[in-house]
Structure 1
């Protein structure tokens, strides 16, 4: 099982001809199909898909959202992450802190496309960067 943040998951829906990290994301994320995510994850991925659609970077945004709804993921309630998220407030965004807190809590690797997050010194979990 892995923790997958929105930046990594969003790459799955991108056109590989316009987003070079898509193939790598599909490879990394298919290696471990059991995902743990904070409960807000689908909302954050949907927001990213909206941005990609508005920028003309998705072939079929409606299909992408439909697939997002069908993905099977285990979720962690926000209230179980809040204390650690608050500890990370000086170093990470609230959203990034939620993924780090989930990974730390479960003793799992966090998969992200955000190199800045991986460079942060605040986390106490392994991080795999898709890049």
Structure 2
């Protein structure tokens, strides 16, 4: 089981594995371990990033709408926010609340956080394994 963050998920969904080694890494890691546990805000963050790609002309409407459908259909375990709030707050000096949410979920459930955001690893505050895509 893994906790993929929105950045890694967006690479999985919208990256070109033939042209971007980070996208290829995301595909390999996340498809090899399809059991995911994510914080409640994961779907919204993925959708927000998809919106940005669409508005920026990097993906078309069909791809954006396919992502909405994928987010409806994908089977993941969704961790409720309340049990993680204290840990998220403890990380406030080093991580955004969104990033801390992924760290807290991975820590509490004893799984690896998969991310494309090197800042999470560089912060040095996570008490869970971190696997960077790419």
Normalised-by-shorter TM-score class: over 0.9
Q: Which has the higher helix share?
A: 2
Please report how far the alpha carbon of residue 18 of structure 1 lies from its aligned counterpart in structure 2 after TM superposition.
8.8
5+ residue gaps, structure 1, are none
Q: What are the ranges of 5 or more consecutive residues in structure 2 without an aligned counterpart?
A: none
- Correspondent of 1:70 among 69, 73, 81: 73
TM score, norm. by length of structure 1: 0.94
Q: CA RMSD in A?
A: 1.5
Distance 1:103 1:17 in 2: 26
Once the 2 structures are TM-superposed, how far is the Cα of residue 15 of structure 1 from its aligned partner? 4.3
Runs of 4+ in 1 over 6 A off after TM superposition: none
Distance (Å, rounded) in 1 between the aligned partners of 2:102 and 2:19: 23
Looking at structure 2, the residues matched to 70 and 119 of structure 1 have their Cα atoms a distance apart, in angstroms, of 33
CA distance, structure 1, for counterparts of residue 15 and residue 122 of structure 2: 27
State the partner residue of 1:38.
Answer: 39
- Contact 1:14–1:57 (CA under 8 A) maintained in structure 2: no
